[in-house]
A and B are shown apart, each in its own frame.
Chain A
Amino acid sequence: MKILVCISNVPDTTTKIKFAEGNASVDTAGIQWVINPWDELSLTRALELKDNPANGVNSVTVVHVGTAASEPTIRKALAIGADDAIRVNADSSDAFFVAAQIAEVVRKEQFDIIMCGIESSDYNGSLVGGMISEFLGIPSVSAVSDLKIENGQPLLTREIDGGKEVVSVSVPLVAIVQKGIAKEPRIAAMRGIMMARTKPVKLVEPMAVESLTQVVVFEKPAPRAACKYIDAENPAQLIDLLQNEAKVI
């Protein structure tokens, strides 16, 4: 069985976002780039599955759509333990574009399980995984918090309103993962970092695909009103304010 993990390259989650001239893009100066948090967990789970030979996972490949600037993020994924990587050499203009490129990679290389994070922490789109599955005409399971392989078949736990559902789906499939898929992201050890240098990164040129959306301008969230403090000796006043001023209880 072959697993493909889709990774997105995003600013560290503590980054104070600033915009470049004209506010049409984010100012990348000084940004620390990381693997999107969900993708890091999804890679971790893929590697855990491979660790146990009973699961029959032969390889874990990562794929990224991006320019050479994101090489360090790809190397990091290899250092964590992915066997090899594929980079589609293009600016990731929108989810539709990215998903179309990854679907093409899957068509050529044939993977059994394609893992995507539930969203990327930059565009918060929650789109790429579902789009890949539709491009390929294969099933997808969303909000997956556990992925196992039993008798050669993937068994997935997905979150539904107010609970969980365990579903089985035949391969190939796209698993769109969220919290719970792995406990902690796996960290690259020194040996992994050394090995990553020689692991193969295959470069693929993009297909011509037109993006469907475009950001024209960014803005900062509206500032919130200053905090009104209530005396710790008299918390009942808070209830009063919530009832009569904010009118929310």
Chain B
Amino acid sequence: MSVLVYTENWDGKFKKLSFELVSYASGVAKMAGTSVTAVSIGKVDDTELKKLGNYGASKIVAVTNEKLSTLDNQAYASVISEIALKENSGVIIISNNNAGKAIAPRLSVRLKAGVGSGVSRLPLNLNPFTVYKRTYSGNAFAHLVIKSDIKILTLAQNSFDLAETPGNSCMIENFSLTVDEAHLKTVVKDVQKQTGKILLTDADIVVSGGRGMKSPDNWSPLTELASLLGAATACSRPVSDEGWRPHDEHTGQTGKIIAPNLYIAVGISGATQHLAGISSSKYIVAINTDKDAPIFEAAQYGIVGDAMKILPKLVEAVKAKK
């Protein structure tokens, strides 16, 4: 039995979430007294591959095949399940991001493996295999027993601390395969990608604005604070619905679900549907004129006051520290 972890890369470099995933997989492997095998699909050189070893992977299966350059979840799932069977994997770990959400359910059906999705802690128990899982958009947590022989866990992004395992040695195995053309059905027509922007789902710090920002013209102190802190920007749903900010910034139940170390909510009331997307943040700061706004119940730090006056002062304070 081994723990298999599917890692993701971009432009030949591993995404941070890949190191989180391997750290988590190592935690599971330690509980089970077994080792971690990491799967990498795409062109990644050996120096980069070896980095997975720093977080506890003892074997890396590297798949390079030109035909797998776009995410075709059917093709990816077939590759990963083939490796899982070959490696005799009892637990498979995948990110709970968009790619993971596309791959995990397919693997589940292929391998008849139950899925614990969006986990953020190590399993509670291995026998019966029990995970702690977010349900009701964060209003309840479940102890979920996975009854199948193979278990799939999808890990919430930013929820598990990186853990280095110094002195760990790892080997690389190149895995060649033939991709069944019939499985490649997704034809990409157009890609629009922003570069140089911190991705909301990856960010350690997020500065977010709500309707209390009053107008799209008031955003500059908020974005300035964000850039000084190296933070991503976000917003509440009405703000993106109004077109004040782009849709990909919308956090909450029907938007993005994030778990940064720090979430600064400015002029956001803290409706349950908003909290559903941010309640896993380690620290929440609320800035709001209404001392009774529910956001203060979720926050560890709060300022009752006008965002338009407070944001410029925060910008000055951060500048003064630099």
A224: Cβ under 8 A from any B Cβ: yes
B203 to chain A, nearest CB (A): 12
Per-residue contact bits, chain A 154-185, to B (CB 8 Å; 1 contact, 0 not): 01001111111111111001001001100000
Bound-complex Cα distance A19 to B141 (A):
11
CB distance from B15 to the nearest CB of A (A): 8
Binds B, one of A45-53, A73-81, A92-100, A193-201: A92-100
Using known A-B contacts A26-B140, A121-B136, determine if residue A131 contacts B109 with beta carbons closer than 8 Å: yes
Across the interface, which residues of B come within 8 angstroms of A128, CB to CB? 105
Least CB distance from B265 to A in Å reads 12
Q: Which residues of A contact B143 (CB under 8 A)?
A: 215-219
**Binary interface profile of B, 293-322, with partner A (CB < 8 Å = 1, else 0)?**
000111111111110011001101110110
A142 CB-CB contact with B under 8 Å = yes
Residues of chain B within 8 A of A16, CB atoms compared = 139
B255, A239: Cβ atoms closer than 8 Å: no
A168–chain B nearest beta-carbon distance, Å:
5
At the interface with chain A, which of B46-54, B82-90, B279-287?
A: B279-287
Of the candidates B15, B117, B190, B247, which one forms a contact with A125 in the assembled complex, judged by CB atoms under 8 Å apart?
A: B117
Do residues B114 and A160 form an inter-chain contact, with CB atoms below 8 A? no
In contact, A161 and B199 (Cβ under 8 angstroms): yes
Q: Is the interface of B mostly helix, strand, loop or mixed?
A: mixed
* A208 in the interface (beta carbon within 8 A): no
Bound complex: CA A238 to CA B321 (Å): 12
Q: Min CB distance, A36 to chain B, in Å?
A: 10
Asked if residues B194 and A133 are in contact (CB atoms below 8 Å), the reply is no
How does the 8 Å CB contact mask read for B129-150 relative to A, with 1 for contact and 0 for none?
0100111111111111111100
A243 proximity list for chain B (CB < 8 A):
321
Interface 0/1 of B191-231, CB less than 8 Å to A: 11111010101101100000000000000000000000100
With an 8 A cutoff between CB atoms, is A127 at the interface?
yes
Number of interface residues of A (CB under 8 A): 82
Does A17 count as interface, using CB distance less than 8 angstroms?
yes
Report A127-169 residues with CB < 8 Å from chain B CB.
127-131, 133-135, 139-143, 145, 155, 158-169
The answer to whether B117 touches A127 (Cβ under 8 A) is: yes
Q: Is A206 an interface position by the 8 A CB rule?
A: no
Q: Determine whether the beta carbon of B96 is less than 8 Å from that of A227.
A: no
With an 8 Å Cβ cutoff, the count of chain B residues facing the other chain is 99
User: Which residue of B has the minimal Cβ distance to A125?
Assistant: B117
Nearest CB of A to B187, in Å: 5
CB distance from B90 to the nearest CB of A (A): 14
Interface string of B107-131 (1 = CB under 8 A from A): 0111011111110000000000010
User: A215 touching B142 by the CB < 8 A rule?
Assistant: yes
Q: Please tell me if A69 contacts chain B, counting CB pairs below 8 Å.
A: no
A155 to B187, CA, bound (A): 10
Q: Cα distance A214–B147 when bound, in Å?
A: 8
What residues of A have a CB within 8 angstroms of the CB of B317 in the complex? 235-236, 238-239
Taking a contact as CB atoms under 8 Å apart, the answer to whether A166 and B105 are in contact is: no
B241 to chain A, nearest CB (A): 8
**Contacting pair A215 B188 (CB below 8 A):** no
CB distance from B284 to the nearest CB of A (A): 8
When C-beta atoms are compared, the residue in chain B nearest to A137 turns out to be B74
Q: Known contacts being A13-B272, A128-B105, A221-B279, is A166 close to B302, with CB within 8 Å?
A: no
* A126-B187 Cα distance, complex, nearest whole Å: 23
Specify the chain B residue showing the minimal Cβ separation from A220. B140
Q: Which of A211-233 contact B (CB under 8 A)?
A: 211-221, 224-225, 227-232
Mark A residues whose CB is within 8 Å of B: 11, 13-17, 19, 26, 37-38, 94-96, 99, 118, 121-131, 133-135, 139-143, 145, 155, 158-170, 173, 176, 179-180, 211-221, 224-225, 227-232, 235-236, 238-239, 241-243, 246, 248-249
A-B contact pairs, 15 of them (CB 8 A): A99-B105, A124-B118, A124-B133, A126-B105, A130-B73, A130-B106, A162-B197, A166-B190, A168-B189, A179-B247, A213-B145, A213-B146, A221-B138, A224-B284, A238-B285
